[in-house]
Amino acid sequence: MSTVVESPAGVEQPVRPAYRVTGPRVLRSEWTKLWSLRSTWITLGLGLVFLVAFGLIAAAQFKSRPMDEDFAHATAVSLALFGLNFAQLALGVLGVLVTAGEYSTGMIRSTLAAVPRRLPVLWSKSAVFGLVALVAGLVGAFITFVIAGGIVSGTPAAMTLADAGVVRSLLGAGLYLGLVGVIGTALGALLRSVAGGIAMLVGALMLIPGLMSLLPASWQNNIGPYLPSNAGQAMFALTHDSTSLSPTAGLVVSLGWTVLALAGAAYRLKRTDA
């Protein structure tokens, strides 16, 4: 509540209470900004549609032709997560938009004027969107698995949540999507360009793994498992072999890539002007 004091000239002037910039307030402001954007609702919805729709389509295809060699090793989990590659692009792109979008519109100047220390802005944006992507990924993965499991019931691919590794795989898928969202946020802040951030995200998640097939087999086995997408896949895969990481190792590598992207974004945010 404002108070009124009398100036030496006899003019009453309102005295506004001083507000401090705190972590919770920055988080709340970033939460409000995120949901005020139309792109958030559209892109997040697309991510869920990709995850659910492609998973159900894959399960329906398996049900209609279970002996097809394309589904030789399919399980209810792999079918339910068939659309994860498409969902990760949608969530990663939205992460880029969360930060790079403010640079493209110039709103970042107002944001940094309100939070002069700068880094809390990056941490808050990353935490808020990472949590949103995590929840969206978990909800989408579990819903798709339950429905897809019903579709393939009675087939060799049938599984339930009680089967070994199923819950771990679904949790890993949601966590991986959350980390992709944070990486997208960091790339947007690092490059300060929507087009540049999306290009680097697509290159890291899809193009580089594809180009690995052109390298010698020894390079593929030694480098391939540590790429962001392959490490993420290890987090939610039901089975593993000598050429892939374990779920724990995949999580550690994925966290390492996330920290590296955030560190680069934090360095540029502190060292250069908006």
The count of domains in the chain is 1
Q: What is the pLDDT of residues 247-272, one digit of tens each?
A: 999 999 999 999 999 999 999 999 98
Assigned domain for 141 exists: yes
Assigned domain for 6 exists: no
Assigned domain for 4 exists: no
Assigned domain for 187 exists: yes
Assigned domain for 35 exists: yes
Assigned domain for 134 exists: yes
Length of the chain: 274
Q: What is the pLDDT of residues 77-95, one digit of tens each?
A: 999 999 999 999 999 999 9
Q: What is the pLDDT of residues 93-116, one digit of tens each?
A: 999 999 999 998 888 888 888 888
How many CB atoms are closer than 10 A to CB 53?
15
SS3 letters across 198-214: HHHHHHHHHHHHHHHHH
Assigned domain for 8 exists: no
Structure confidence at residue 1 as a pLDDT band (50, 70, 90): very low
Amino acid at 222: N
Assigned domain for 9 exists: no
The domain containing residue 218 runs over which residues?
Answer: 24-271
Sign, Cα dihedral of 190, 194, 200, 201:
positive
DSSP the chain: --EEEE-TTS-EEEEPPP----HHHHHHHHHHHHHH-HHHHHHHHHHHHHHHHHHHHHHHHHHH-TT-GGGTT--HHHHHTTTHHHHHHHHHHHHHHHHHHHHHHTHHHHHHHHSTT-HHHHHHHHHHHHHHHHHHHHHHHHHHHHHHHHHTTTSTT---TTSTTHHHHHHHHHHHHHHHHHHHHHHHHHH--HHHHHHHHHIIIIIHHHHGGGS-HHHHHHHGGGSHHHHHHHHH-S---TTS--HHHHHHHHHHHHHHHHHHHHHHHHHS--
Would the pLDDT of 48 be above 90?
yes
Tell me the C-alpha distance between 169 and 234, whole Å: 9
